[in-house]
A and B are shown apart, each in its own frame.
Chain A
Amino acid sequence: MLKLAGITAGYGGTTVLRSVDLVVPPHSVVALLGANGAGKTTLLRVASGLLPPSAGVMTLGGEDVTRRAPNELVARGICHVPEGRGIFPSLTVRENLVLQSAKGEEAASLDRAVKAFPRLGERMAQLAGTMSGGEQQMLALARTYVQHPTVVLLDEVSMGLAPKIVDEIFEFLALLRSSGASLLLVEQYVTRALDVADYVYMLNRGEVSFAGEPGELADEDVFASYVGG
């Protein structure tokens, strides 16, 4: 279980998150909603260790992991698919997958990745940066499958992709969930995110404005939070 308590964080002199509390229970999907600049990406960066919070505590399965380096958090089961394309464009697909997989499990990981995304199997020797956007996102998502994470942080993974690919990605997320991982989901397709979510957090200007189950959230509130009000 990932637990953030009283997290305050920002860049340089700017504070983005103010005393945010958030819990990702085991085997669940948590959707994180909010307008542009609300602090969703920042929150995920804090959770994966990329941005050390200036105040607050983060625990993972009871252990205090505040200000741990991102690579240490990966070993403890956190997996972050960052905004944009989380791949190394100048490496081949195979090399990307090798880096993602645990030591000694490279062959098994390649199999798993190809099983989840057969298209990657055809492109093993290709440079990752030369693939289409959807294929790149599949490669980025493959890490969530080969690293055996307990908590997966997904930042706008459907952004800029064709609707058909988005469907595939949501299918994959369902698969991922059934494999036992919890997901913390930042999504632009709000209704789709709410469909799969067990819990919803709404961020507004760096503060949690709503926390609860999707059913409790009125459509007007969602709308208001996105367009301001």
Chain B
Amino acid sequence: MSEWLPFLVFGVTTGAIYGLSAMGLVLTYKTSGVFNIAHGTVCASAAFTFYTLRQVHDVPWPIAAALVVFVYGAVAGLLLERMAMLLADVSVTYKIVGTVGLFVAIQAGITLIYGDIAKNFEPFLSQDKAFGLPGVDVTYDNLITVVGCVLAAAGLAVFFRVARLGIAMRAVVDDPQLIDITGYSPVRVRRTAWVIGSSFAAASGVLLASNQAQVDVNVLALLVVQAFGAATIARFQSLPMCLVGGVIVGVLQKLISKEIGSQPSLQGLDAATPVLILFIGLLVIPRSRLVEVGRQVRARGFSSRAGKAYSWWYVPLIGVALLIPQLDEAHLFAWNLALAQVTLFASLHLLVRTSGQISLCHIGFSALGAATVAHMLGRGVPFPLAVLIAGAVCVPPALVIAVPAIRLSSLYLALATFGFGIALAAFAYGKSWMFASQNRPVDRPQMWGLQSDSRYFYLLLGVAVLALFVVTVVERSRLGRLLRGLSDSPVALSTLGLDVNICRVLVFCISGALAGVSGAMYASVFGGASPDSFNYAQSLVVLAVLAISGSRLVPAVLVAPVLLYVVPNYIDNPDHYKLLQIGFGLAAIYAAAASTGRLGSYFAARGVAAKDRLHGPAAVRVDRLRSAHLVRTQP
């Protein structure tokens, strides 16, 4: 027993922090219907703020903690509530895209200010021994953390049972309009929930940084994963159960890390624990218990213009593309990367735009594809066949993720894919059957002078056109029509006797396979595959960039890779690149909010309000502008 005890103590301590974070996450999700994928980055930003206050400006820790939890947390909560408001009327898929944009923006912002490297974080709670257990000393640090988190959970539970505002917070989930005609502003109620939730997030970020004695954006951003592991145990509903869930996740994680210490083949399994819990939860929790919060909104239907109207553009476009190696030799490598990723964006477009599903692990599929192609080429398999196998390898994992999640809804698919991407990075990347933390060679085909980048460009262009062709065929085929019907009205499709889930799983597998192919081609541009090229967070960046690149297949999948690979190549200053990424994130939030036209009507309403405020001269000014030919007169 005593050999387990230290792990139990550590597990309970970190678990309590996970629980605190999970409570913040579930509270905001329940009251607003927006599941904040960026929750972990909010925690991280709070921890960095604390770090700056305490270790750069020498603010005493109690003041710094109070400022971070009560001021920073509150301000973050107010801003997030505004964002949730903008996302209130969009489909679940775009809500996720919006918070993914926030993730990208905050992460880039933090690395812009503090750099990529973890900072040393001086623990601020006393490390002295409080009492001893056999084999381990429990420190005041442990004790205060656990007691604090338990008190927070208990306080929240009481607040929800007794206080009017707390009851109103539960009521706003049932019916926001009814709470309005009962005399409470739903906005105020939600705002309070976001402020509390963000304060919890801030506190958990600071505590986790202190617990680990370092502040690292990549570690803290993953707090959302531990949080949703804990939230799964609470069925995304009960707040006090989140704390219990957090402790279970924390303890399991430490116990697993103890067990696998001597087994290299299982290394990284501890980091994947919350993901495993999520998967088990998705499998065993009855569907009726995992209902989604918030109004169900359909994504905006397919544009009726989709089709041939602009297809004559493609001829000059391909002409220009053929000339790129001559026109822009200096940035040819970036163009090659971008072309290799056209397939990735095409696969993601098929998934997100056509079928209204989502994936936060497409880079994970790419990594699988890249590793496979490296292994296959190493065994002497010809290049084209190796690329095809790389695609095929992604189908079984796609099935494993999609089948449990798809019977639920987009949100759980997003969580499952996000978790899969992270588990893959933590567990599989380092194994010898994937990358084994080294650069595995991926040689280009030994013919037609493809070793040179300018020749290879044409092969990549061919593959990209082929991928576009495949996606177009899928969209135009029976499956594509079913998918469009699916995003229009799943009920109507079911009444026609079609199993919508099979369509969904099928398209998820096709998309995963294409992503695998793209990973193989991507690795071949580098001439090797390594874990660094396939960071899990890149999946989110890719999604954010796709969201801002337009809604039509060909323009979107061409613009997105250029934005992501070619434009940064023109930027020499790494800080400007970070700024660009922040821009991608913010633009993705905007694109998500605008996806149902709500933003347009918001601005229109503001315009009307502004006109009222100006007592009429608006019309006069419009006339003046018209006479100056600045505003086009409507016929």
**Segment of A18-26, A95-103, A114-122 in the binding face:** A95-103
Interface contact B178-A82, CB-CB below 8 Å: yes
Q: Name B166's closest neighbour in chain A (CB-CB).
A: A95
Residues on B with beta carbons closer than 8 Å to the beta carbon of A82: 177-178, 181
CB distance from B180 to the nearest CB of A (A): 4
A113: shortest Cβ distance to chain B, in Å?
Answer: 14
Look across to chain A and name the residue whose beta carbon is closest to the beta carbon of B161: A95
What 0/1 readout, one digit per residue, does chain B (158-192) give for beta carbons within 8 Å of chain A? 00000010011011011101111111110000000
Taking a contact as CB atoms under 8 Å apart, the answer to whether B167 and A99 are in contact is yes
- Distance to closest chain B CB from A226 (angstroms): 28
* Contact of A71 with B183 in the complex, beta carbons under 8 Å: yes
Interface bin, chain B: 10 to 19
User: Taking chain B's interface residues, is the majority helix, strand, or loop, or is none over half, making it mixed?
Assistant: helix
Contact A91 B180 (CB under 8 A): no
Q: Is the CB of A143 within 8 A of B174?
A: no
- Are the C-beta atoms of A98 and B183 separated by less than 8 Å? no
For the complex, is A197 an interface residue (Cβ under 8 Å from B)? no
Residues of A with C-beta under 8 A to B167 = 91, 95, 98-99
Distance A98 CA – B291 CA, assembled complex (angstroms): 27
Q: Which residues of A contact B179 (CB under 8 A)?
A: 88, 99
Residues of B within 8 A of A41 (CB): none
Q: Is the CB of B173 within 8 A of A86?
A: no
Q: Is the CB of A147 within 8 A of B181?
A: no
**Residue-wise interface mask of A (62-89) relative to B, using a CB-CB cutoff of 8 A (1 in contact, 0 not):** 0000000111011100011010001111
Task: For the complex formed, measure the closest distance between the CB of B527 and the CB atoms of chain A, giving whole angstroms.
Answer: 55
Given contacts A86-B178, A91-B167, contact A71 B173 (CB under 8 A): no
A147 touches B183 (CB 8 A): yes
> Which residues of B lie under 8 Å from residue A49 when comparing CB positions?
180-181
Cα A82 to Cα B181 in complex, Å, equals 9
A88–B184 touching, CB < 8 Å? no
Which of A75, A91, A147 is close to B174, meaning CB atoms less than 8 Å apart?
A: A91
A48 to B178, CA, bound (A): 11
- Docked Cα-Cα span, A91 to B178, in Å, equals 13
Give Cα A71–Cα B180 distance, bound, in whole angstroms. Answer: 5
Contact B168 A99 (CB under 8 A): yes
- Say yes or no: A99 contacts B164, CB within 8 Å: yes
CB under 8 Å from chain B, chain A span 156-211 = none
Closest CB of chain B to A153's CB: distance in Å? 9
Find out whether the CB atom of B182 lies under 8 angstroms from the CB atom of A100.
yes
Establish whether residues B182 and A143, one from each chain, have CB atoms under 8 Å apart when the complex forms: yes
* Contact residue among A69, A80, A99 (Cβ-Cβ distance under 8 Å from B185): A69
Instruction: List B contacts of A103 (CB < 8 A).
Output: 164
Contact A75 B183 (CB under 8 A): yes
A88 to B168, CA, bound (A): 10
Given contacts A98-B164, A99-B164, A103-B164, contact A91 B170 (CB under 8 A): yes
Contact B183 A69 (CB under 8 A): no
A91–B167 alpha-carbon span in the complex (Å) = 8
- Give the contacting residue for B171; candidates A75, A79, A80, A91; CB below 8 A: A91
Judged by a CB distance under 8 angstroms, whether A90 is at the interface is yes
In the complex, the answer to whether B183 meets A88 with C-beta atoms within 8 Å is no
A70 and B182 CA atoms in complex are apart in Å by 8
Question: Is A222 engaged at the interface, CB distance under 8 Å to the other chain?
Answer: no
Interface: A50 (CB within 8 A): yes
Contact at B183–A89, with CB atoms within 8 Å? no
User: Across chains A and B, which 6 residue pairs bring their CB atoms closest together, nearest first?
Assistant: A74-B183, A70-B180, A88-B171, A88-B174, A80-B181, A70-B181
Q: Could you show 23 A-B contacts with beta carbons less than 8 Å apart?
A: A48-B181, A49-B180, A50-B180, A50-B181, A69-B180, A70-B177, A70-B181, A71-B181, A71-B184, A71-B185, A74-B183, A75-B183, A82-B177, A86-B178, A87-B178, A88-B175, A88-B178, A88-B179, A91-B174, A95-B171, A99-B179, A103-B164, A147-B183
Q: A50-B177, A98-B164 are in contact. List 18 more A-B contacts (CB 8 A).
A: A48-B181, A49-B181, A71-B181, A71-B182, A71-B183, A71-B184, A71-B185, A73-B181, A75-B183, A79-B181, A80-B181, A82-B178, A88-B170, A88-B175, A90-B171, A95-B170, A95-B171, A99-B171
